[in-house]
Amino acid sequence: MGIEANKVLVERYYHELVSGQQLDLLEELVAEDAADETVVGPGGAGTRADFVGHLRGLWTNVPDVKATVEDLVAEGDRVIAFWRIEGTHSGPVFGVPATGRFFTGHSISTLTIKDGKVVRYNVLPDRLGIIRQLVPDAG
C-alpha cells in the first residue's frame, strides 16, 4: 500500500471505527497482532483485543464521541494524525469521574500500517486541556 492508501485507512479508522462505533470493522482495519500502545506501552506486543478494550472504554465514557481528522502527515509505513475529539463526559476520563459536560480536545496519533492494516497505534492527547474543561477549578 502507498502513502495515500495509508491515509485513507487512518481516515476510516477515526470516522467509521471511532466515531461510527462500528466494531465489526476492526478486523478489516487492524491486524490481529497489532499493538495499541495506550494499553501495552511503547514497544509492547499486543493483540486486536487491546483495541477492543480501548474503544469500548471510550464509547462507554463518551457515548456520543466524535473524532475528526484535521490533518494527516505520512511517510513510509507511518501516518501521523492530528485529530479532534468531542463528546459528553459520561464516565471516567483521565481519572475524572463523569461530569455530564461536553468537551473537545486535540490529539496527535502515530499509526503504523503494514499490508493494509494498523499494526501499531499510539496517541498523545491534550489531557490537561480536556481536564480543564471537565473540572474548571483544576487550574
Q: Which domains does the chain have, with CATH numbers?
A: 3-138 (3.10.450.50)
Asked whether 60 and 88 are in contact (CB, 8 A), the reply is no
8-state DSSP, 35: E
Q: Is 122 helix (H, G, I), strand (E, B) or coil?
A: strand
Which band of pLDDT confidence, cut at 50, 70 and 90, is reported for residue 139?
low
Asked whether 116 and 9 are in contact (CB, 8 A), the reply is yes
pLDDT in tens, 73-132: 999 999 999 999 999 999 999 999 999 999 999 999 999 999 999 999 999 999 999 999
Q: How far is 5 from 12, CA to CA, in rounded Å?
A: 11
Which band of pLDDT confidence, cut at 50, 70 and 90, is reported for residue 58?
very high
Long-range contacts of 14-20 (CB under 8 A, 24+ apart): 14/67, 14/68, 14/69, 14/81, 14/83, 15/67, 15/69, 17/55, 18/55, 18/58, 18/65, 18/67, 19/65, 19/66, 19/67, 19/68
Mean pLDDT of the chain: 95
Q: How far is 46 from 64, CA to CA, in rounded Å?
A: 27
